[in-house]
Amino acid sequence: MKRLFIHLIGLSLLALPAWAGESVVLTNGFRLHADRHEIDGNKVRIFSNGGVTEMAASAVAGYEAEEAAVGPAAPATPAKPPTPAPEPPTPAELAASAAKKFALPETFVRSVMKAESAFQAGAVSPKGAIGLMQLMPETAKELGVDPKDPPQNTDGGVKYLRELLARYEGDPDQVLLALAAYNAGPAAVERYHGVPPYRETREYILRVLKNWNPDGSK
């Protein structure tokens, strides 16, 4: 019970306002600000601003506590506007970056990308090929890229194109064979010793060549 009583007293003290000091009310009606006071017999010592004033206790009518002055609230610091997220690169920008990285003509890379996905980053073929460069999941895994991430998808596809072009380097039909292998797989090219007789593959090659400007013009 005693502990509960002490606890309640503590709570009540916490609820009291903070005081800046006190007013010493004199019998003549004047008031003096004091930080604190001490009574010594018939004398009173008033402490204020580092000094001490002593007077007869009979000159004091009473003491009144002063509430701490609350200054104006500091102006709120305006919140910085959030930094806008950078715009994702466009398919054309991705094609240009990957073409430069793997030393292929930009127009060639862009033409393959158009034929593969029509520049749609979220494109998925009925066979499961993914993204701008239509990478199969197994191929993407071998290339070490995430096919659902447009920059990685583009880099992976262009890297694969570069590898296929290097594979058929020296063959007069190097570009045709590389495109055929990209579309139908190198195994099909090896099986038919050239461009496979698949309608889809032959139409794919024609679409790429139609949109590609070897002279570099756009």
- Angle (nearest 5°) at CA 66 between 63 and 70: 175
Q: Which two tokens stand for residue 115?
A: 């034929």
Strand ranges of the sheet holding 51-56, from the earlier edge strand across to the other edge: 36-40, 43-48, 51-56
Q: Which two tokens stand for residue 19?
A: 């005081």
Integer CA distances (angstroms), 90 to 117, 123, 150, in order: 14, 15, 9
The enclosing H or E element of 20 equals: strand 19-26
How far apart are alpha carbons 180 and 194 in whole angstroms? 8
Annotated active-site positions, please?
116
- Give the number of other Cβ atoms within 10 Å of residue 97's Cβ: 17
